[in-house]
Each structure stands twice: as structure tokens, then as C-alpha cells.
Structure 1
Amino acid sequence: MRVIAVVSPLGGSGRTTLTAHLATLLARQGQPCLAVELSAQNLLARHLGMQEPSALGWAPLAAAGRWWADAAFENTEGVGVLPYGKAPPEAADALHRQLQVQPRWLQDQLELLDVPEACTVVLDTPAWPSPLAQAALRCADAVLVTLEASARACADPAAVQAMLAEAAAAPADQGVLVTRFDPRRVSHRDALQALRAQWGERLIPYTLHEDENIPRALARAMCVGSFAPQAQSARDLQGVCNWLTGPRLAPPSMLATGAGRP
């Protein structure tokens, strides 16, 4: 299987949104795909069709010593989903202690999954340096870092470098994605330019624009590609998926993102 970790040192940078949409787009291309939620926010299943956050999840099962994949389900798009579930804080503490004793615990659990050989597993992580985010980095073949278009995302590139240094994925399989970009805002344009200067070729040549269709789709337990397929965000997400799975070429419109417009 191929494992993709969606990570960030920042909360609210779109990791869950990206995980859900990448999994859906991959499934639509006919690729077996499993989305695994490592974040206690427990919102991934909402993006993938459930009207309410999932009560059953892998975290309470694993904390009780049971097989974690018993919480998995498949949505109407054919995406396998393994939600975090509703777990008390002590369950998370138990999982973190497990990772200290067995650093390969997550990798071992993934390898035991009964999935097709060509399956892609997309990991939605809590903010780094959470132990589960660190575990995801250790077992991922590819890493996508989400950084919103803001001053705080530009403030500490050394922290992101330290995060990527933990990753098992080769540098060529590590990408930085700018999210929540509104070209009408000067601060966002300035942040995009700063992030381009900081990350150079590691910056994915697609920018995920701020789009009201994303929260509207979430309110209906849908992905934006189904809710509003012509939306800017739907096109952005398809571009990211294409970059991840195909030739990593810049889109023709890379210089026309609005970054230099008043």
C-alpha cells in the first residue's frame, strides 16, 4: 500500500478537508483508498457522508486492546473510512503511552489491514508534534504539509523543517500546500509570496483557495466536488490530487493565482 500523511504544525489549516477530498478523488479514479483519522476532533466521517460524528472509532477500540479496524466503514463513493471515534482523554493518553513503548505501532497496524495491495491510505493527523502525527510521519511514503496563507504560517519555517526531518518519505515526496488563500486580501497575497520564497520547489504549484462551498458541503456531509463541482476549491483539490498521483508539473495558470493583483 501507499501511505500519505497530511500534517501541519498549525491547527485549522485544512488537514481533514484535504484528507477527505483526496480520498474521494482517488476513489473516483478507481483506486482503492482508505482514509484514517488520527485526530480526536472526530470530524473526518462528516466530510465523507455521516450526518453525525462517528461514535464508533478505532481509538476507543485500540485503547481497549481490540482490533482497531472493526470501526471501518465504506461510504457511497467507495472510500474506506476509519474514524477516530468518541474516546475519553484517558484513551488518548493510553495510545500515546503505547507509541512510546512501540514506536512502530501505527505502521504495524496499517500493515495488518486487509486491503488491496494497491490501496492508498491517507492519514489525517492532529497538529504536530502530537505523538500520532509523529507516528504518521514515520510510516508515510508521501507527506503533504498544509500551511494557511497567513503570517503565522510564515513565522517558523524551522519548525516545519524539523517536522519534515522526522518523515520517512524522501524529500521528493514531501510537498507544502498553501491553504485558505483569498486573493482579495493583501495579507494573504503577502503570505503566499513569503511561503513561495521559503519553500521554493517544495511548494505544491496549486493553492487551495478559501471557498464558502467547503463549509456548505460539510454542513451537508458532502465533499465539495459533489456539492459544487465547478467551485474554485473543487478545481484546486483536483489539481493537488493530480500533482500527487501524476507528473509533478506546474499548472499553466500558476502565475495567475491572483497573488500579484491589487
Structure 2
Amino acid sequence: MLTLIAVVSSAGGAGRSTVTAHLAAQLAYASHPVVVLELDAQNSIGSVLGLREACGKGVLSPGVAPDCWHSVLCDTPAGVPLLPAGRTDPTTLAALVQWLQQDTGGLRRQLDALGLAPGTRVLIDTQRLPDMAAQAAVAAADLILGIVPVTTTGYVTQPDLMAACAGRVQMVPNLAAANSSFNNDLLHLMQARAGEAVVPLRIHRDEAISTMAANGKTLANAGFGSQAALDFARLAAWLMRATTPDEVLDRSGRGEK
């Protein structure tokens, strides 16, 4: 059975695509089956996963119906299979949103039809809420990861994110600066407001992320020793625990962690 994970935010510049790509690469590096579905019309996540050119055809492209998604599934240098957005237009986007809204089980059904390995985590990269395709991904998801930048904008829009996800979101603080007292204060306010809905870790600002992007590599494959690489390893471990049934965790000896 597939596990659908919507990656969303209510703040611009939150880092949804960056977090999605590096988290997926970390899961693949740890030999966990993972696929990225890109519902963001910017069509940029392929470059973070190491593709040299943007994908011309994808799930948002004219002429690519949901039952033809297998034709655009591609491998990436990061070892993460990608269903790219591709080039799109307003008419095609509107048609996809209509399908997602009217056929509530359609997204999972089409992903199941790809024949992915059992237990595959499908990370769904979305546009900023309240985008309607993002809302449909939220409705279909087994887990919602809300990317919240540790900035004033992130703090102000945090309630919007919580409301849009109807209390189901697990928030990942991003762009944290441990050496900034103001940044730490903002993080504490976010944690106080949302409690256990905030994942017990943070993704730090790290020049390694920009360096990896410039070289077409991911932290999992080339960012050894960086703070951000450690952060994503921790996030991947948290995600696996959060999306693995308790009885499986118990049998594996990790149920008490």
C-alpha cells in the first residue's frame, strides 16, 4: 500500500520543493522506496534532484491524462523517481483540479496503477495554499507535512496553514538559525501555538543547500557533515516512524523509541 504525503505551506518562499527533494533523496539513500509527484506548476523540483533540463512533459502538461502518468515517470540522478509537473497552461490546470475535486479517490488510484513497490512513500510537492490542487492533495494524503519558515511571515501564516489542513498537519520548521535569539523566539512561539503538531526537529539555514543546488546534487549524496544533511536524516527517520504502523514498529524492535 502506498503512503501519500502532501508537502504544503501557507507562506511564500517556505521551501516546499527544496524540502521535498532533499527528504525524498534521503529516503532513497536509506533504501526506502519513494516517489515524488510534482503538482507545482513551477516545474522546478527536477533540477534539485539533479536533472540538467526541466521536463517538458509531465502530469500538468496538455495531453497527459492521469491514466497516462506512467509515460512521464522518470529517473533522477538522486535516485528518486519523479512524476514531474512539465509545462502546462491554465486550461490543463483547471481540468486537473476539476478531476481531483470530483474524483476524490482518483489520485490514489492513478498512483496505484503505476505498480510502485509496496510501502512506497509518495511525496506530493504542491503550490502554496489555498491552491485548489494543493487542497485536493491535502484531502487525499495520509500525512500532511506543513513547511513553516521560521520567519515573521511563517509565524503570521501558521494559523492559516493549520486551518487549511483542518488540524491534520505536522509542521516542519524550516530556515531556522540557531545563532539568532529572535529566530529562536519565533520558533518557541510557533511550538507553543501548535504544540505536538510541530515536528520535534528543525531544518537549519545552511550554505550546503545552495552549494548542492549549484552542483545538481542532494545533501544525501554529497552533503556529508553539513547541519542540513543531519536535519534531513532526522526528518526522514521521523517520517518513517510516523508512517509505519505501530505493530510493524513493535516487531522491528523500534516501538518504544
TM-score bucket of the superposed structures, by smaller chain = 0.7 to 0.9
Match of 1:185 in 2: 180
Give how far 1:64 is off. Answer: 5.7
Give how far 1:121 is off. Answer: 0.8
Give how far 1:61 is off. Answer: 4.8
**C-alpha distance in 2 between matches for 1:65 and 1:175:** 28
Match of 1:227 in 2: 222
Question: Any conservation in 1 of the 2:46–2:76 contact (CA below 8 Å)?
Answer: no
**C-alpha distance in 2 between matches for 1:150 and 1:41:** 23
Match of 1:92 in 2: 93
Question: Any conservation in 1 of the 2:55–2:87 contact (CA below 8 Å)?
Answer: yes
- Aligned residues: CA RMSD: 2.1
**C-alpha distance in 2 between matches for 1:62 and 1:34:** 22
Unaligned runs of 5+ in 2: 244-257
Match of 1:122 in 2: 123
Match of 2:246 in 1: none
**Stretch of structure 1 that moved more, 105-114 or 198-207:** 105-114
Closer, same or farther: CA 65–195 of 1 in aligned 2, 3 Å:
closer
Q: Deviating runs (4+, > 4 A) in structure 1?
A: 61-66
- Under a length normalisation based on structure 2, what TM-score does the superposition of the two structures give? 0.86
Give how far 1:232 is off. Answer: 0.7
Give how far 1:77 is off. Answer: 4.1
**C-alpha distance in 2 between matches for 1:224 and 1:112:** 31
Match of 2:237 in 1: 242
Identity across the alignment (%): 30
Question: Any conservation in 1 of the 2:10–2:158 contact (CA below 8 Å)?
Answer: no
The amino acid that maps onto 1:196 is Q
Describe the SS at the equivalent of 2:5: strand
**C-alpha distance in 1 between matches for 2:242 and 2:106:** 33
Question: Any conservation in 1 of the 2:100–2:106 contact (CA below 8 Å)?
Answer: yes
Match of 2:152 in 1: 151
Question: Any conservation in 1 of the 2:76–2:82 contact (CA below 8 Å)?
Answer: yes
The amino acid that maps onto 1:42 is N
Give how far 1:148 is off. Answer: 0.2
Question: Any conservation in 1 of the 2:104–2:140 contact (CA below 8 Å)?
Answer: no
Question: Any conservation in 2 of the 1:5–1:124 contact (CA below 8 Å)?
Answer: yes
Question: Any conservation in 2 of the 1:6–1:123 contact (CA below 8 Å)?
Answer: yes
- Under a length normalisation based on structure 1, what TM-score does the superposition of the two structures give? 0.84
Describe the SS at the equivalent of 1:60: coil
Give how far 1:55 is off. Answer: 1.4
- Aligned positions, number: 242
Give how far 1:32 is off. Answer: 1.7
The amino acid that maps onto 2:227 is Q
Give how far 1:223 is off. Answer: 0.8
The amino acid that maps onto 1:53 is A
Match of 1:47 in 2: 48
Question: Any conservation in 1 of the 2:66–2:110 contact (CA below 8 Å)?
Answer: no
**Stretch of structure 1 that moved more, 93-102 or 187-196:** 93-102
Give how far 1:104 is off. Answer: 3.6
**What pairs up with 1:45-124 in 2 under 5 angstroms?**
45-61=46-62, 67-124=68-125
The amino acid that maps onto 2:191 is R
